[in-house]
Amino acid sequence: MESVHAAQDHILYRIGRQPDPLAWPPWQFTGDGRFDDPARVFRVLYASEQRSGCFTEVLAAYRPHLALLARMQALPEGDAENQTLEPATLPDDWRAKRLIATLAAPPAQGALDLRDRVTREQLRTAMAPQFAALGLTDFDHGDTLSRDRRITQVIARWAYEAGYQAIIYTSRHGHELTCWALLEGSQFTPLHIAPITKDDPDLLSVAAEFRIRIT
């Protein structure tokens, strides 16, 4: 699927489920994501400005658990089990169930950019009651990267009610990766949808970094 797009459009990439990776997720699978709405009033599509960022975000869950890494390191030196950790294996049907999409988000629609210091400072004032209710004594960039999704989800709720159509944020997996949360109702144009091949360079690069075997 190809489309002409303006040079100033934000070009984004998303890995999603067959048959339509750009379909809004079913309601039963909403509410747990980083910028999902805890009240399940609106849905969210997650995307990345970098193609490799899509693979980084979705493959991170397949890395060896910290508990396993710690157990391996705690074994006596020379123990038969204390060998190089075997790579995790991506499920056989992982690629078959997914597609990678390229899309364009027009610059005219409002996006809350959490990377921007001025924006975060304005948000710190505007959302002081909500942050205080969560037990925060301050708010800064680190809080936008928090694993405490109560914080990011309350930001998403505020952004939606304030009329924003997207949230731009830094990936927890690297400051060089920029992610987008497209809030339901946002406008975007599908540009290209393709299968994920076994020899995809971004897939192979991220899988090697995370020690994941591709079958």
pLDDT tens for 8-61 read 889 999 999 999 999 999 999 999 999 999 899 999 999 999 999 999 999 999
113 has a pLDDT exceeding 50: yes
**CB neighbourhood size of 10 (10 A):** 19
Q: Residues 121-139: pLDDT tens digits?
A: 999 999 999 999 999 999 9
Residue 185 belongs to what H/E stretch? none
109 has a pLDDT exceeding 80: no
CA distance 172 to 145: 6
pLDDT at 2: 39
Q: Residues 153-165: pLDDT tens digits?
A: 999 999 999 999 9
pTM of the model as a whole: 0.89
What 3-state DSSP class applies to 66? Answer: helix
Residue in 176, 202, 2 with CA at minimum distance from that of residue 103: 2
Domain boundaries, the chain: 10-61+95-213
| Residues 177/187, Cβ–Cβ less than 8 Å | no
Question: What does the angle CA 174 – CA 175 – CA 176 come to, to the nearest 5 degrees?
Answer: 90
